[in-house]
Amino acid sequence: MSKHSNHVFLLGPSIVRKLIQVGYALFCLYIGWQFYRFYLWTMDLGPYVPRPAAVEAFLPIGALVSLKRLVLTGHWDMIHPAGLSFFIGVLFASFLFRRGFCAYVCPIGLINDALAWLGKVARVRLTPPRFVHIGLLGLKYLLLGFFAWSILVKMDLGAIDSFMRSPYNLTVDARMLLFFLHPSTTSLIVMGVIAALCIFFKHFWCTYLCPYGALLGILSIFSPVSVKRVEGECRHCKRCQESCPSSIRVWEKETVRVPECIGCMECLDSCPEKGCLSLSLFGRRSLPWWVMPLGVVGVLLLTWILANFTGHWHTMIPDERLKVIYKALLGHI
């Protein structure tokens, strides 16, 4: 039992994190399966299955476009409303609980964990020099900058409305499905290279390349919660850095506020000194570690409840109409 367990949670931070990650990954697989069955129905290849709105959670770029339109006009995107609702929920969760979405919810994070474990077991893990590590950290911000420039700067309201009415946007969820069902040779090579890098370099995608994580990391700088270290209790064993998915040098910091911190609480779980590391509010008041996972899951659950209650979850396009659109635009693929 973890030294950080208490009477509320009998399991430690690492186990709780894995349980949440696996649970959400299974939910994603279920949503993917349901959407696949819906797609088969649109092509007259299977019985009717309602389209799961949660599939829009995998469309963050479109959600960013919708968010800009919401700010400019006050109108919610009712073509992919769940995508916008989920995106706003993730942004809010990241502001309150750092990059907890990356730590507990994102299925890519779980895959990165598995690849990092494989690299450790196979003893092929490499650690880039510190100056290389710092340089690589900028890559994800360059990718984020590209999307921010393309959407937030270059796209005016007319371009946004044209995009939202475009055949691509109307079928973007199905196109995403087809991308994974029938990936091109180039896509397979790129994904293979990234997977290999994640085996050799711990959490390569999440730490260096993910633009979504970069955006959430910027928001997390303003988060009221952070990991705090008590210098007098620290033995500088560096177990915190070894367990950290982002390889943050926690043992050097008084308060961990860097955007790479995903709030996973792995450093707390690995620390051999009780009282050395803790979750803090505004760097002062100590909080139980379980506030982080509970807060992230709670915000996203509340987002789903509010979106359903206010009519901002399900698309305004009836399934029968989507069937016509899919067959017309994707039937030849």
The region of weakest confidence among 19-28, 139-148, 270-279, 296-305 is: 270-279
- Is residue 201 within 8 A of residue 194, CB to CB? The reply is no
- Is residue 69 within 8 A of residue 75, CB to CB? The reply is yes
- Is residue 115 within 8 A of residue 195, CB to CB? The reply is yes
Residue 45, φ and ψ in degrees, nearest 5: -115, 10
| pTM summary value | 0.93
* Residues 174-205 pLDDT 10s: 999 999 999 999 999 999 999 999 999 999 99
Q: Which amino acid is at 25?
A: A
Q: Side-chain half-sphere of 46: how many Cα atoms within 13 Å?
A: 13
Q: How would residue 141 be classed by pLDDT, with cut points 50, 70 and 90?
A: very high
Q: Which amino acid is at 71?
A: V
Q: What is the mean pLDDT of the chain?
A: 94
Q: Is the pLDDT of residue 5 over 50?
A: no
**CB burial of residue 70 (10 Å; 0-12, 13-18, 19+):** middle
Residue 173, φ and ψ in degrees, nearest 5: -65, -45
* Residues 94-128 pLDDT 10s: 999 999 999 999 999 999 999 999 999 999 999 99
Contacts of 91 (CB under 8 A, 6+ apart): 215, 216, 219
- Is residue 314 within 8 A of residue 81, CB to CB? The reply is yes
- Can you give the pLDDT at residue 7? 45
CA-to-CA separations, 25 to 20, 21, 63, 206, 241, in angstroms, rounded: 8, 6, 21, 17, 26
CA-to-CA separations, 166 to 30, 161, 163, 171, 176, in angstroms, rounded: 28, 9, 5, 9, 16
How many residues does this entry show for the chain?
333
Kindly state the percentage of the chain with pLDDT values over 70. 97
- Can you give the pLDDT at residue 9? 59
- Is residue 61 within 8 A of residue 147, CB to CB? The reply is yes
Distance CA 127, CA 104 (A): 24
